């Protein structure tokens, strides 16, 4: 018997090829949980949360906790570069297949030439990872519409086709009446082919444009967050510098006041010393005058006696 493998959600046993790649989910679990795209690496995964849908896969959640929010990859421009300037997908592809080349769909230098049979699945085109997914989805839609068209052309569906014809005629009459009213359709709507399905090239462009739009939105959000962080750092630096300037100004005022008081004290002591010395000089001058007068008197009294 072939080996059976357990589903990661319900633990039921199934052959390996019946489980989904990556999360290893069975068909029932894949239908029970919605298929969403990761905000960062753009990988599709089954969201198993019961509340609001999680838009980040488990791998990117771990990387965000370890390395913080990622930046845009310099090759594919996907917001998934957690370490360095390149995402892990482009890093691994560059190691295996060499430097990137220009994608034939988005014209970015983010495709890798695998040099194997993988290009046969996209009609021999050299596409990047995102454009490859979009092209495969467009091919799947085209095949699905072709199979639906072939099944509806069978004789057993004649009554159903007549009903569809009646519905289309009533719809055309309604559309004629609505020609005079202002159009409310979004500008992003593109024309459909005669069979009612999107052409593969237009569907691919729509998917690629949507992915590029999401990537650009996340880039702008990350740039805004980065600029806000830089602005916060600059504000904190300005406040710190203003605080240092205020402290330096206060310190300068204290030093200036102390120097002024010291100069006043030294000036006062100098003036007191000068006055004291001047008073001593005056006293000494008086004593000199008195002594000189006494000496003159003594000389005058001694001179007649000698005669």
pLDDT digits (tens, 9 = 90+) for 219-233: 788 788 888 888 888
Listed in sequence order, the residues at least 6 apart from 78 whose beta carbon sits closer than 8 Å to its beta carbon are 40, 41, 42, 72, 87, 89, 130, 215
Query: Per-residue pLDDT averaged across 252-263, rounded?
Result: 91
Decide which of 47 and 180 is more confident.
47
Confidence of residue 293 (pLDDT cuts 50, 70, 90): confident
The residue among 288 and 53 whose pLDDT is bigger is 288
Higher pLDDT, 228 or 204: 228
The predicted pLDDT at position 273 comes to: 93
Please state, in angstroms and rounded to a whole number, the distance separating the CA atoms of residues 104 and 194.
Answer: 27
> Could you tell me the CA-to-CA distances from 79 to 64, 93, 207, 216 in Å, in that order?
12, 17, 17, 9
> Which range scores top for mean pLDDT: 10-14, 27-31, 170-174?
10-14
Least confident of 29-43, 47-61, 109-123, 165-179: 165-179
Residues 154-172, mean pLDDT to the nearest whole number: 48
Higher pLDDT, 272 or 160: 272
* Model pLDDT, residue 8: 72
Per the prediction, the chain carries an average pLDDT of 75
pLDDT exceeds 50 at position 194 = no
- 168-187 pLDDT, tens per residue? 444 444 444 444 443 333 33
- Over residues 105-115, mean pLDDT: 87
When comparing pLDDT for 217 and 184, which is higher? 217
pLDDT at 216 over 80: no
Of the chain, the percentage scoring pLDDT greater than 70 comes to 70
């Amino acid at each position: 018997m072939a080996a059976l493998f357990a589903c990661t959600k319900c633990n039921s046993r199934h052959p390996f090829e019946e489980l989904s790649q990556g999360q290893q989910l069975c068909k029932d679990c894949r239908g029970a949980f919605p298929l969403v795209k990761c905000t960062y690496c753009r990988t599709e995964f089954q969201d198993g949360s019961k509340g609001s849908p999680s838009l980040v896969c488990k791998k990117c959640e771990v990387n965000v906790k370890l390395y913080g929010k990622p930046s845009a990859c310099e090759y594919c421009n996907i917001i998934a570069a957690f370490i360095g300037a390149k995402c892990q997908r482009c890093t691994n592809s560059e190691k295996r297949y060499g430097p990137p080349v220009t994608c034939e769909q988005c014209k970015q230098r983010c495709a890798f030439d695998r040099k194997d049979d993988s290009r046969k699945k996209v009609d021999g085109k050299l596409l990047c990872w995102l454009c490859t997914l979009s092209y495969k989805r467009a091919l799947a839609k085209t095949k699905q519409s072709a199979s639906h068209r072939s099944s509806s052309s069978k004789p057993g569906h004649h009554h159903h086709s007549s009903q569809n014809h009646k519905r289309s005629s009533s719809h055309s009459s309604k559309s004629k009446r609505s020609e005079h009213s202002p159009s409310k359709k979004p500008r992003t709507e593109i024309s459909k082919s005669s069979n009612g399905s999107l052409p593969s090239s237009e569907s691919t462009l729509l998917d690629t444009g949507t992915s590029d739009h999401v990537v650009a939105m996340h880039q702008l959000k990350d740039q805004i967050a980065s600029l806000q962080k830089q602005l916060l750092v600059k504000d904190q630096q300005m406040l710190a510098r203003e605080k240092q300037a205020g402290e330096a100004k206060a310190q300068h005022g204290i030093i200036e006041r102390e120097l002024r008081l010291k100069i006043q004290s030294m000036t006062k002591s100098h003036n007191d010393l000068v006055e004291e010395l001047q008073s001593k000089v005056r006293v000494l001058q008086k004593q000199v005058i008195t002594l000189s007068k006494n000496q003159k008197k003594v000389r005058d009294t001694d001179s007649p006696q000698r005669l």
